[in-house]
Amino acid sequence: MLAAYAASIDSENPLDGLVVDQRPEPEPPDGWVAVDVRAAALNHHDIWSLRGVGLPAERLPMILGGDAAGVDPDGNEVVVHAVIASAGWTGDETLDPKRTLLSELHQGTLAQRVMVPRGNLVPKPPELSFEQAACLPTAWLTAYRMLFVRGAVTPGQTVLVQGASGGVATALIQLGSAAGIRVWATGRTEEKRQLALSLGADAAFEPGARLPERVDAVMETVGAATWSHSVKALKQDGVIVISGATSGPAPPAELNRIFFLQLRVVGSTMGTRDELERMMRLMVQRDIRPAISQTLPLPEARAGFQAMLEGNTSGKIVFTV
């Protein structure tokens, strides 16, 4: 079957290890099923994998991708939940110390077929296309948990989203705005700031800009480039929810400000299967559809990876299979 996979690791030039070619068909063990992938979405996680973050060379070749929507062996339209808990784990799977994401230990979704535990199949709402549904399991689920679970943001509060055009950032803007939150975003270009406004942000600023007032919460995935601004943007007792550090993991800690203003720093990773179902229900009820930057056939996957690497995005990058 055709697949986009990591054949080698290169921390400096991640696309050098990317190959789009034939891989063996999955052979699901008991309790697992093979899903016919109709659409799969790209995440920054796939770039990290090609750089060797979370993917050691001894696991190669590894099919990339955590997100897919497709058809299960019984003919049901499904979305694949990307968090694979260890055998016997019960409860919140994001807290399982042995959890993995598809493409870390088990082969990923950027392929004609992917095998997953049967319990990771979630019914796809008929209102969402395969392309739209494929956007949800990583970036959108992460955004949902950041805002509503880990951040516990409520309607009427003001949230700063660092970044405008990425997968998580666009999901944060769209979900936050639909939930009655005042959303402010930063974007690196005027075009990206306009995108944020078009997706429902109430205002968009240049990175590091002085804001009209302090905010209740900051959603942080950028890391070193924006951390100090995030800390300075917060009200007393405000919360930064962090789920990523695209620009680097080691900014100045700003410890003085954090303790003096009694700020809270909360980590967030992916989300649960239940949260994925709830989010999809919200999206159907409130008519929210993910911003899609580009849709490409799987054989042209490299162009999508290149666009993400260059920061040339306006929402999710989707591959049709």
Ligand X SMILES: NC(=O)c1ccc[n+]([C@@H]2O[C@H](COP(=O)([O-])OP(=O)(O)OC[C@H]3O[C@@H](n4cnc5c(N)ncnc54)[C@H](OP(=O)(O)O)[C@@H]3O)[C@@H](O)[C@H]2O)c1
Q: Which of 308, 318, 319, 321 binds ligand X (CB under 6 A)?
A: 308
> Which of the ranges 30-38, 102-110, 126-134, 137-145 carries the binding residues for ligand X, by CB under 6 A?
137-145
For residue 34, state whether it binds ligand X (rule: CB under 6 A).
Answer: no
Q: Which of 70, 151, 166, 290 binds ligand X (CB under 6 A)?
A: 166
Nearer to ligand X, 4 or 164 (CB): 164
Site string for ligand X, 205-234 (x = CB under 6 A): ----------------xx--x---------
- Total residues in contact with ligand X, by rule CB under 6 A: 29
Taking Cα atoms as reference points, which of 286, 99, 89 lies closest to residue 200? 286
For residue 50, state whether it binds ligand X (rule: CB under 6 A).
Answer: no
CB of 136 to ligand X, least distance (A): 12
For residue 165, state whether it binds ligand X (rule: CB under 6 A).
Answer: yes
For residue 138, state whether it binds ligand X (rule: CB under 6 A).
Answer: yes
Residues 257-286 that bind ligand X (CB under 6 A): 269-270
Residue facing ligand X at closest CB distance:
166
Cα distance between residue 318 and residue 321, in whole Å: 10
Site string for ligand X, 141-160 (x = CB under 6 A): -x------------------
Task: Please name the residues in contact with 6: beta carbons below 8 A apart, sequence gap of 6 or more.
Answer: 17, 18, 19, 49, 50, 55, 60, 61, 62, 64
Cα distance between residue 248 and residue 199, in whole Å: 27
Task: Please name the residues in contact with 266: beta carbons below 8 A apart, sequence gap of 6 or more.
Answer: 150, 151, 239, 240, 241, 242
Instruction: Please tell me the number of Cα atoms within 13 Å of 64 on its side-chain side.
Output: 33
> Which of the ranges 29-37, 43-51, 121-129, 280-288 carries the binding residues for ligand X, by CB under 6 A?
43-51
Q: Which of 68, 115, 133, 168 binds ligand X (CB under 6 A)?
A: 168
Q: Which of 108, 238, 244, 251 binds ligand X (CB under 6 A)?
A: 244
For residue 38, state whether it binds ligand X (rule: CB under 6 A).
Answer: no
Q: Which of 14, 151, 167, 251 binds ligand X (CB under 6 A)?
A: 167
For residue 174, state whether it binds ligand X (rule: CB under 6 A).
Answer: no
170, two tokens? 């666009």
Query: What long-range pairs does 21-28 form, CB within 8 A, spacing at least 24?
Result: 23/61, 23/63, 23/107, 23/111, 25/1, 25/113, 26/107, 26/113, 26/114, 26/115, 27/115, 28/115
Cα distance between residue 23 and residue 107, in whole Å: 10
* Contact residues for ligand X, defined by CB under 6 A: 43-45, 48, 138-139, 142, 163-169, 187-188, 192, 221-222, 225, 243-244, 246-247, 269-270, 308, 311, 313
